[in-house]
A and B are shown apart, each in its own frame.
Chain A
Amino acid sequence: MSNTGALNIAAAGADAAAHDLAGPRGARPKRALSGRNIMIYGTLAVVSLYYLLPLYVMMVTSLKGMPEIRMGNIFAPPMEITFEPWVKAWATACTGLNCEGLSRGFWNSVRITVPSVFLSIAIASINGYALANWRFKGANLFFTILIVGAFIPYQVMLYPLVIILREMGLYGSLTGLVLVHSVFGMPILTLLFRNYFTSVPEELFKAARVDGAGFWGIYFKIMLPMSLPIFVVAMIIQITGIWNDFLFGVVYTKPDLYPMTVQLNNIVNSVQGVKEYNVNMAATIITGLVPLIVYFASGKLFVRGIAAGAVKG
């Protein structure tokens, strides 16, 4: 508590301090090469190198031939650039009996991700809208359960969902997996939309009601057009989350329908045959490409999205 006391005093003195600092001398002149700056930029540069290293190693390895990999070290740039590993990873790499490369997994992932993203966002946005603007009795209870549910380890709900999907005749199908993704995306997306719609000025909503707009009218004509940014954030969370999923893919689909992540793991960690490290790294990059593109294209929105979606893990 003594800390907060000191803080109050500090805050009280802040006005006077600000006055002093605003004096003619201004802020301390910045020297470009002060020791402090060298330390800050130096540290950040070293850390950045460390973070970039795996990307570099992946890239370099994927462009080398196998003889060169056996001879040289993983950090050396390729002497002879070859795109053969990329072609092989995409089109002919084997998992078990299948030798169609990652392309099959890629299209499976597309067929999983696209409907999951649309379905989950459609459901969650309407849900959030109902919770924010049309409060009904008991809504908060269900909402609380939903949010608390987001913290329950998936493993607890894996098997009951197997049973539910089996009863529905959807176990092992892409539709089943789409449903699973929609269910587990629900907490965070509903929270996101509820908070956003709550922040929309109430007058707008009331005016629309006076004009005779109903539940759906207000949603489609006012809320939806007003909230495009939050839809984009939700899409970022869902696309990256679902594309990167492994556990649900492996539990709820069968080998023919495995998403890309599962197939990648099977290609790289298969025990038979010679390990082709260049093909493995090319395959790894290809799998990471979609979320990376989303990341670089969306910039600051991604940060907002992950900050909101972090609980989903």
Chain B
Amino acid sequence: MAATRRPPTLFRNLNAKIAAIPMILTALVVFVGGTAWTVVYSFTNSRLLPREKFVGLDQYERLWSSNKWLISIENLFIYGICSLVLSLIIGFVLAALLDQKIRFENTFRTILLYPFALSFIVTGLVWQWILNPQFGIQAVVRSLGFESFSFDPLYNPDIVIYGILIAGLWQSTGLIMCLMLAGLRGIDEDIWKAARIDGIPMWKTYLFIVIPMMRPVFITTLVIIASGIVRVYDLVVAQTSGGPGISSEVPAKYVYDAMFLSQNLGQGFAGSTMMLLAVIIVIVPWAYLEFGGRKRHV
């Protein structure tokens, strides 16, 4: 092909380029531009409106000396660790149970997954009702004669985040179960047969053969759960609105409150930049594992 006869590269494949304009705009303007804008303005002293008066790391210093932010981080940490560990364990165990060639598999799967179709608002409101100490579980158990029984996670500042965790797990373990089930179905049948011939007990086969083989599924699931955790917002708003006091605040809510309620944009930008940092810390190693090795062949 004579390169000189080609039309200018800009106009080659013009239709495809026109079709890609929305994607390019989204990628550059919203994702790159928006992110850069927020990061830059997190170094200003913007309050009601964004201002270009740069104050260095002031916003971050204020952020990290704010009690509300520290509690948010602590909550996110507890919620995150528990939700990661528990949803992986519960999701995997449920998937393993469903993978035993049982009857009614579809029924069980449907029941376990339906909460995922519901919004965090709906999930939060239902569990707020069930955990209501005046009418909910606590009242029911007390009416059975256990007068001193106490279970009011949403009204107890020390354990409120676990109350939110209960609802969060209820909503999302179905999805994890589905991902794990897909992973289990991808394991070669022969491996099970071989393990059985060798007399390896089932739990050992799972622990030492199947789970290591499912590493990619686990990593993907981990990333999905982790990036969901950082965004936790609706659930808290619906269940406790951050209360009692500020004991169930989370970073996403801190950012929202700063930006849209207390007219403190700078704090909002600094908070969201910290959230971005957290996600980058999770994503970069994963992207490296997932795509880094393959790049060399392409």
Contacts and interface: CB of A to CB of B under 8 A. Distances in A.
Interface of A: 3-4, 6-7, 10-11, 13-15, 17-18, 20-21, 40-41, 43-44, 47-48, 50-55, 57-58, 61, 69, 73-75, 123, 126-127, 129-131, 134-137, 139, 142-143, 145-146, 148-149, 151-161, 163-164, 182-183, 186, 190, 214-216, 240, 243-247, 251, 261, 264-265, 268-269, 277, 280-281, 284, 287-288, 291-292, 294-296, 302-303, 306-307, 310-311, 313
Interface of B: 9, 12-13, 15-17, 19-20, 22-24, 26-35, 37-39, 50, 94, 97-98, 100, 102, 108-123, 125-130, 132, 135-136, 139-140, 143, 170, 174-175, 178-179, 182, 188, 190-191, 193-198, 208-209, 212-213, 223-224, 227-228, 230-231, 233-234, 237-238, 241, 251-252, 255-256, 259-260, 265, 268-269, 271-273, 275-276, 279, 283, 287
Contact of A157 (B34, B140, B234, B271): B34
A182 B23 CA distance: 10
Contacts of A306: 116, 175, 178
Given A73-B143, A146-B27, A186 B22 contact: yes
B113 A303 contact: yes
A136 B12 contact: yes
Most buried by A among B34, B116, B178, B227: B34
A277 to B, nearest CB: 7
Given A52-B111, A127-B19, A264-B122, A148 B228 contact: no
Contacts of B20: 127, 130-131, 136, 139, 142
B198 A13 contact: yes
A17 B129 contact: no
Contacts of B213: 7
Nearest to B254: A155
A147 B118 CA distance: 25
A307 B23 CA distance: 22
A149 B37 CA distance: 14
A20 B197 contact: yes
27 contacts: A10-B195, A18-B190, A44-B108, A51-B115, A54-B127, A54-B170, A130-B20, A143-B27, A145-B27, A145-B32, A152-B31, A153-B230, A155-B252, A155-B255, A155-B271, A155-B272, A158-B272, A186-B23, A244-B122, A247-B234, A261-B119, A264-B121, A265-B237, A284-B126, A295-B113, A295-B117, A296-B114
B224 A310 contact: yes
Nearest to B212: A3
Q: Is the interface of B mostly helix, strand, loop or mixed?
A: helix
Q: Is the interface of A mostly helix, strand, loop or mixed?
A: helix
Contacts of B252: 153, 155
